[in-house]
Amino acid sequence: MVSNSEFWSSHMAAWKSGGLTQAAYCRRHALSLPSFGYWRRILRRQPMMPSSPAVVPILVGEPESVIEAIEVHLPNGLQVQVPVGMAAARWLPTVQALMTC
Domain residue spans of the chain: 4-45, 69-99
* Segment 69-90, tens digit of pLDDT: 888 787 878 888 888 887 877 8
69 or 65: which carries more pLDDT confidence? 69
Contact 31, 51 (CB under 8 A): no
pLDDT at position 95 over 90: no
Give the per-residue pLDDT at 32.
Answer: 94
- Closest by Cα among 33, 49, 30 to 41: 33
* Segment 23-58, tens digit of pLDDT: 999 999 999 999 999 999 988 887 655 556 667 777
How far is residue 54's CA from residue 98's CA, in Å, rounded to a whole number?
19
- Closest by Cα among 62, 54, 53, 18 to 36: 18
